[in-house]
Amino acid sequence: MITISNQYHFHFKPYRRKFKKPLRTSHGVWKVREGIIITLRNSEGKIAQGEIAPIPWFGSEDTAEAAQFCQQQGNTITSEIITKIPTTLPACQFGFESALLSFNQEIKKVDENSLNYCYLLPTGKQVLEQEYQLKNKSSNPTFKWKIGIDETIQEIAIFKKLLVKLPHNARLRLDANGGLTIKQAQAWLEVTENNKMIEFIEQPLPPSNFQEMMVLQETYSTSLALDESVATISQLKDCYEKGWRDVFVIKSAIAGFPSHLRQFCQQHDLDLVFSSVFETSIGRQVALQLALELGNCDLGSAEALRDRAVGFSLDPWFSNY
């Protein structure tokens, strides 16, 4: 964390980007991505940008709260103020510190074509209307399918048909976004038991059911991943201290200060998957840099124990992507 206090000229601009197709999850339907681009200029005239991309239903501030913080700063902000942004504004912490850090270190652009991506599949029956052999861009292509949206019996029936359509060497992540009951989670874990194609089931239960997820993780062979439960750095630390040793999904754009995330991840042996929050290229580059530095996505071997595809799709979700 930067401690020397410097003053910067400050400007911010809200944005709204409409999804080409609304994204359905157990949280509801997401039609528009809102966020804020911030711009800092130092005394030498150098400019740096950062992105505030909240997801309030994951536990971050909402865009209105982020905009209010920005408005309170006026035309200038200091590094001291940035380092004291409260934990109730984790997306602001990420956006401001990532801009601030770029003044003090060289930011190398990530070669996105070199990464192994996880491809988000259409929800419901629509997933069966496509062919997926063309997606086979790696030795072990990875896909994600949202569950917990329709009736469990119906989704499991679709799931069984989906397995036949995917490439034989594919890996599949099932993402419930905390939308399952314990009985529904057990039904999914029973149908995925010993299925090597299933990489993990992501956040089967709400964050309030942490102990129940611990029991499920110990009872079944299928790996489980925490997502909503570890949206911020403080939540990540809490779940680790409570004994979670399976997969952690990190959305760094809403996790908080990048420096704090980096420090914790470097100090502990964590099985990490870095994931997008549908940010613009400004926040995306910072998040991908953290993924390459801290994640398990660049081990160079498909047989590696923790070879995890990054959750940053190359597919254009917005018309002005």
Distances (CA, A) of 207 to 176, 180, 230: 12, 11, 8
Q: Which of 21, 46, 183, 251 does the annotation list as catalytic?
A: 251
Using the 8-state DSSP alphabet, how is residue 275 labeled?
B
Q: Which of 20, 21, 146, 161 does the annotation list as catalytic?
A: 146
d(CA 100, CA 92): 12
Other CB atoms within 10 A of residue 308 CB? 26
3-state secondary structure at position 198: strand
Cβ 272 vs Cβ 294: under 8 Å: yes
**β-strand partners of 198:** 172
Residue 251 is a catalytic residue: yes
3-state secondary structure at position 57: helix
d(CA 214, CA 71): 42
Which amino acid appears at position 79 of this protein? S
Distances (CA, A) of 141 to 39, 114, 263, 288: 37, 14, 30, 19
Q: What is the CA radius of gyration of the chain?
A: 20
Buried/exposed 68-83: b ≥16 CB within 10 Å, e otherwise? ebbeebeeebebebbb
Other CB atoms within 10 A of residue 66 CB? 25
Cβ 52 vs Cβ 95: under 8 Å: yes
* Helices within the chain (DSSP H only): 63-72, 79-83, 90-101, 152-165, 182-192, 210-219, 233-241, 252-255, 258-267, 281-294
State the catalytic residues. Answer: 146, 251
